[in-house]
Structure 1
Amino acid sequence: MPLTTKDQMNVLYDLLSEHAEECCGSVSEYQQIQRLARSLLSKKAINNDDFLQILPQIYDYGRDGEISDNDSNYVTSNQAQLNEWMNSIQNTNY
Structure 2
Amino acid sequence: MGLNQENQIRLLQDILSDHQADCTGTVAECEQMERIIKSLMANTHVDANLKGILEDIYLYSQRGKSTSSINDHISDHQDRLTQWVREIGSFS
Report the TM-score, using the length of structure 1 for normalisation.
Answer: 0.90
Quote the residue 1:73 is aligned against.
72
CA distance in 1, matches of 2:67, 2:49: 27
Secondary structure at 2:30's aligned position in 1?
helix
Which fold has the larger relative contact order, with Cα–Cα distance below 8 Å and residues 6 or more apart in sequence? 2
Secondary structure at 1:55's aligned position in 2?
helix
Q: Kindly report which structure 2 residues correspond to 1:18-37, keeping only aligned pairs within 5 A, or say none.
A: 18-37=18-37
Identity %: 28
Deviations 1:39-71 (A, max 9, x none): 111102222x22211211111111110111112
Structure 1: runs of 5 or more not aligned = none
Count of aligned residue pairs for this structure pair = 92
Report the TM-score, using the length of structure 2 for normalisation.
Answer: 0.92
Q: Which runs of 4+ in 1 moved over 3 A?
A: none
Q: What is the alpha-carbon root mean square deviation over aligned residues?
A: 1.1
Which residue type is aligned with residue 88 of structure 2?
I
